[in-house]
């Protein structure tokens, strides 16, 4: 029985969400003057989300009140695209006390990994030791982009080395077991370098791509519901308690 997820590009998955958001109306964001909730709790498997402009305007205070502790927020794609909601989402998640990081949607066929890592780091993907910032994530999906497995491995390492040099942090890799197998040949080169954020929906445990020892975050559905967000949103679990989530954020 094949347990690997059938993954669609985020662009298609977000279309239904944005139509729903337009129909239902968007909640009003309530900003606060200082970050809240940056404590060291011990909640098991903290709940998270990942978002982009397809979720529209988000009330991050409501999101945090609903129990969401962490989020990855789309910042960039390819070599020139900047998510139009990032400059709202990223600071407002911080002020609501959500531990958040940025993610880059990879387009390996468009440029070198170094070019895209620099673009990401300069447009939201940087890291700061403020107790609320996760390392940036590299979103690898939507086919192999015309690259051979060897070329894809080189591209990923190029992105990793450049991002590490720019930020001082190891990037997080978002992918599926099937993508990693098809596009890298189950490469083990990221095993000790990049925490794994794995996507696998509708199962009790995710399939881990060969080459990774375990998962750090697990995207378990693309059809979640969270107060403060109109329509569907990706939901995630963190593999550990809040102290481990904070350790990832603070590089400790």
Q: Which of 69, 83, 141, 170 is catalytic?
A: 141
Contact indicator for 96, 63 with CB cutoff of 8 Å: yes
* Residue 50 designated active-site: yes
What is the rounded end-to-end Cα distance, in angstroms, of the chain?
39
Per-residue buried b or exposed e for 17-38, using 16+ beta carbons within 10 Å of the residue's own CB: bbeebeeeeebebeeeeebeee
How many residues appear in the chain? 252
Q: Which of 69, 77, 139, 170 is catalytic?
A: 139
* Residue 141 designated active-site: yes
DSSP secondary structure code for residue 64 in this structure:
H
Count Cα atoms within 13 angstroms, Cβ side, for 176. 19
Between CA 202 and CA 148 the distance in angstroms is 30
Would you give the distance in Å from CA 163 to the centre of its chain? 15
Q: Which of 50, 77, 158, 170 is catalytic?
A: 50
* Residue 77 designated active-site: no
Per-residue buried b or exposed e for 178-190, using 16+ beta carbons within 10 Å of the residue's own CB: bbbbebbeebeeb
Count Cα atoms within 13 angstroms, Cβ side, for 177. 17
Alpha helices in the chain (DSSP H): 10-24, 60-65, 86-95, 113-122, 149-167, 177-184, 242-250
Contact indicator for 107, 117 with CB cutoff of 8 Å: no
Catalytic residues: 50, 139, 141
């Amino acid at each position: 029985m094949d347990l690997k997820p059938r993954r669609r590009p985020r662009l298609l998955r977000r279309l239904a969400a944005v139509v729903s958001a337009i129909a239902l109306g968007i909640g009003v964001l309530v900003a606060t003057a200082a970050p809240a909730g940056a404590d060291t709790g011990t909640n098991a498997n903290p709940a998270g989300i990942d978002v982009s402009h397809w979720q529209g305007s988000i009330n991050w205070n409501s999101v945090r009140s609903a129990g969401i502790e962490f989020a990855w927020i789309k910042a960039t794609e390819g070599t020139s695209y900047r998510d139009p909601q990032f400059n709202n989402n990223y600071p407002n998640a911080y002020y609501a006390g959500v531990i958040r990081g940025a993610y880059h949607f990879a387009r390996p066929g468009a440029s070198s990994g170094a070019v895209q890592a620099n673009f990401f780091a300069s447009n939201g993907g940087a890291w700061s030791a403020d107790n609320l910032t996760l390392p940036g994530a590299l979103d690898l999906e939507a086919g192999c982009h015309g690259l051979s497995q060897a070329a894809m491995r080189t591209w990923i390492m190029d992105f990793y080395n450049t991002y590490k040099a720019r930020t001082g942090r190891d990037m997080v890799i978002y992918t599926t077991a099937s993508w990693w197998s098809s596009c890298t040949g189950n490469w083990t080169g990221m095993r000790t370098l990049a925490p794994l954020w794995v996507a696998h929906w509708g199962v009790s445990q995710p399939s881990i791509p060969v080459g990774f020892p375990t998962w750090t975050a697990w995207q378990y559905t693309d059809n979640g519901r969270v107060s403060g967000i109109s329509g569907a949103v990706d939901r995630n679990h963190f593999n550990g308690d809040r102290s481990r989530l904070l350790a990832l954020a603070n590089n400790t």
